[in-house]
Amino acid sequence: MAIRVLPSEVVSKIAAGEVVERPASVVKELIENSLDAAATQIAVEARSGGVELIKVSDDGAGIPSSELELAFHRYATSKMSDLEDLGRILSLGFRGEALPSIAAVADVEILTQTSSDSAGNYICLRKGEVVRREGRARPPGTTVTVSRLFRHFPARLKFLKSTSTENGHIAHLLSQYALAFPEVRFSLLLDGRLSLRTTGNGDLREIVSEIYGPELAQRMLKVERRDGLAEVTGLISPPASARSTRNYLSFFVNRRWVRSPLLARATEEAYRGLLSDGQHPIAVINVSLPAQELDINIHPAKAQVKFCHEQTVFGDVRKAIEETLARTPMAARPKAAPFSPGSGRWQSPHMIMDNEPAFAVAQLPAMELPVLRILGQLASTYVIAEGPDGLYLIDQHAAHERILYDRILEQKSRKEVEIQGLLEPITMELSPREEETLRSNTELLTEFGFTIEPFGNKSYLIRAIPAIMARADIAEIIAMLLDTLVNKESPDRWEDKIAQSLACHGSIRAGQHLSNEEMRELIKQLEQTRQPRTCPHGRSTMIHLSSHRLEKEFGRIS
């Protein structure tokens, strides 16, 4: 095919694809416009995941009557005028792309009034063209209504996830903007339900309370450091209140919500040694920098920024958080694990066989276990046992995980999950996104033995749990399950993941003393599982030192 310049209609659709990935992208652009217009109140409404309707109303500056149509022209913006401006942008928008992009993929109506125009104006667009204009009254501000998103783009529609997943994205987005702008009053209605409301009184801790619950909000630690290139402010969790994903890290650079691996690393580095593996902090971090220290024009949805002096910013953020953590009383820090392999107190069994990976039993073809006789427990972590062919070291946690994992899936397939009702139900606060996830996965969680009921504003009551979870911190596990479910793809894998999590949290830990009776029971049950030699994550449950190997090691044979 010959090279040709695409017709403008095609160009605008391609560009729209970059800006408007999913309903939440529309909400993002509209909220940013409201914030740029200095709104103090922003009300957002979405129906059917935002596909049927998205409506954003603000009390901002409004668009003058004479400029209303212009706002829907590509690269029409009131926020910059020349190349120099690009280097000192303080507004959230600047490319003049959002409104035309949205109008290219949905029906758009806009009603706006400035404080100087005598009347408000309404226009209605179809396929990017204005089809109606009329005068209409409203208080100063702007309401944009976007309906039937992607109606003419079946491929896009198909690509979208379930209504509740899309609602979840919108709820998460609103939460992030509420965190970035505590002085703005936000509200979010999802299918008629109030999902989030903030007061706009400027108190960040209050927003955290709205989103993550009052208990966590009250424990969050204040960050404030103003003597670097970057000013760093915000709130961070004490090490004892960690989460199992990075979903709770929020970064704002000059009030722009950004995804930043650099800032995430700086944050996690500050917590180094305070959190165990797989734990992540909760943090809301605002970074302010002179505009010329930033390039904000590197991402189609403006979700990333580039710092001119990356290492300096990295250091400023790390130090700000470190200083806050250093002021934290020890009581808020988690206890050290009772035994960690390689700590020098014991020689880890792995060390004997460093160069002999072939001895990890998991790699042997046979799946069944021989009959084992318990000899004792090593470091309250490993069971030592003797078999017909040598010595076995069994990781008690991994072994128990395997047992519980098989049991859960088996019970679930028979629809006979053992349930434990709670005498006193546990109350749990969920963030707007977690609520959406819970809604879309209620059935799955019920099948696994959870009974969770709504209990007023953002609160939920846990009335029953799978029996195998009895020993665990229930609220924390549910929060973690919801985290893993946020982006679930195929249901099978997620069943598996839930089973893995439950098994992991319900099982005995390293460092726990076991009686001979308990060890015997553990091994007996392990023998009955389908894959006794690996835990559900695929790691070995045991190490086998054959008689032959022992003889060789001791020089009895050569």
Choose from ligand ADP, Mg ion, none: what does 96 bind? Cβ within 5-8 Å by kind: ligand ADP
Scanning 160-301, the segments in alpha helix (DSSP H) are 163-180, 204-212, 214-219, 261-270
- The Cβ of residue 525 has, within 10 Å, a number of other Cβ atoms equal to 17
Q: Report in angstroms how near the CB of residue 118 gets to ligand ADP at its nearest.
A: 18
Produce one character per residue of 358-392: b if its CB has 16 or more CB atoms within 10 Å, e if not: ebbbbeeeeeebeebebeebbbebbbbbebeebbb
Helix (H/G/I), strand (E/B), else coil: 311: helix
**Token reading at 355:** 């160069």
- Name which of 141 and 449 has its Cβ closer to Mg ion: 141
Q: Report in angstroms how near the CB of residue 119 gets to ligand ADP at its nearest.
A: 16
Helix (H/G/I), strand (E/B), else coil: 146: strand
- Name which of 114 and 175 has its Cβ closer to ligand ADP: 114
Scanning 37-149, the segments in alpha helix (DSSP H) are 83-86, 98-105
- Helix 163-180 to helix 432-447 angle (10° resolution) is 150
- Name which of 29 and 45 has its Cβ closer to ligand ADP: 29
- The yes or no reply on residue 60 touching Mg ion (CB under 5 A) is no
Distance CA 340, CA 511 (A): 9
- The yes or no reply on residue 61 touching ligand ADP (CB under 6 A) is yes
- Name which of 89 and 208 has its Cβ closer to Mg ion: 89
- The yes or no reply on residue 62 touching ligand ADP (CB under 6 A) is yes
Distance CA 92, CA 103 (A): 20
Q: Report in angstroms how near the CB of residue 58 gets to ligand ADP at its nearest.
A: 5
The residue nearest ligand ADP at its CB is 93
- Name which of 14 and 367 has its Cβ closer to ligand ADP: 14
Q: Report in angstroms how near the CB of residue 56 gets to Mg ion at its nearest.
A: 12
- Name which of 257 and 450 has its Cβ closer to ligand ADP: 257
Place of tokens 């009959």: 371
- Name which of 30 and 465 has its Cβ closer to Mg ion: 30
Q: Report in angstroms how near the CB of residue 135 gets to ligand ADP at its nearest.
A: 18
- Whether residue 289 contacts residue 260, with contact meaning beta carbons closer than 8 Å, is answered with no
What does the per-residue mask of binding to ligand ADP show for 39-58, with x meaning CB under 6 A?
-------------------x
- The yes or no reply on residue 33 touching ligand ADP (CB under 6 A) is yes
Which residues inside 28-47 make contact with Mg ion, applying CB under 5 A?
33
Q: Which of 65, 77, 431, 501 binds ligand ADP (CB under 6 A)?
A: 77
- The yes or no reply on residue 19 touching Mg ion (CB under 5 A) is no
Integer angstrom CA distances of residue 378 from 375, 388, 420: 10, 20, 33
- The yes or no reply on residue 160 touching ligand ADP (CB under 6 A) is no
- Taking alpha carbons only, the member of 128, 138, 118, 170 closest to residue 15 is 128
Backbone angles phi, psi at 551, to 5 degrees: -60, -40
Backbone angles phi, psi at 226, to 5 degrees: -120, 10
Integer angstrom CA distances of residue 553 from 383, 522, 547: 21, 29, 10
Q: Which of 25, 26, 27, 34 binds ligand ADP (CB under 6 A)?
A: 34
Q: What is the dihedral of CA 361, 363, 366, 371, to 10 degrees?
A: 10
Which residues inside 131-150 make contact with ligand ADP, applying CB under 6 A?
142
- Whether residue 464 contacts residue 422, with contact meaning beta carbons closer than 8 Å, is answered with yes
What does the per-residue mask of binding to ligand ADP show for 1-30, with x meaning CB under 6 A?
----------------------------x-
Q: Which of 16, 89, 98, 469 binds Mg ion (CB under 5 A)?
A: 98
Residue 534 has what DSSP assignment?
B
Choose from ligand ADP, Mg ion, none: what does 433 bind? Cβ within 5-8 Å by kind: none
Q: Report in angstroms how near the CB of residue 93 gets to Mg ion at its nearest.
A: 3
**Token reading at 472:** 């665990």
Which residues inside 84-103 make contact with ligand ADP, applying CB under 6 A?
93-99
Strand partners, 53: 47, 147
Residue ranges in contact with Mg ion by CB under 5 A: 33, 93, 98
Q: What is the binding site for ligand ADP (CB under 6 A)?
A: 29, 33-34, 37, 58, 60-63, 71, 76-79, 93-99, 142
